[in-house]
Amino acid sequence: MKDPLIRVTAMPADTNPYGGVFGGWLMSQMALGAGALASRVGKGKAAVVSASDFAFPGAMAVGDELSVYCEVAATGTTSLTITAEGIARERNGEATIAVSRGTFKFVLLDANDRPRAIAGADG
């Protein structure tokens, strides 16, 4: 497995009213990881334009460490589609579980916040 784009520990403020880690927090962590990859691959500013296909196959607890793994799934002329997966590791051990996944589409932007071509993209 590749290195994670983000590692972060779930804190009490990251929970939903039922005491579990909030799905919205997981989504935001995945978006941060995907955005970091989009900026690296695109070599500049990238803005998320859509997010889809979210699933939460497992649950994580406060104190667990979330690692976000991302990869480029598709490349357009000015856009990147990136898949993200969140893997939780228990705080006091090595057990891991997949807790989230989703897809993000980014558009690369120039200095005037206008879409720009990805270096080497066809079109």
Q: How many CA atoms lie within 13 A of 59 on its CB side?
A: 9
Q: List the domain range (segments joined by +) for residue 96.
A: 6-108
Instruction: Determine the Cα–Cα distance for residues 90 and 98; give it in Å rounded to an integer.
Output: 12
pLDDT above 90 coverage of the chain, percent? 92
Per residue in 93-122, pLDDT (tens digit) is: 999 999 999 999 999 999 999 999 997 554
**Beta bridge partner(s), residue 89:** 65, 96
Supply the pTM of this predicted model: 0.92
39: CATH: 3.10.129.10
Count of the separate structural domains present in the chain: 1
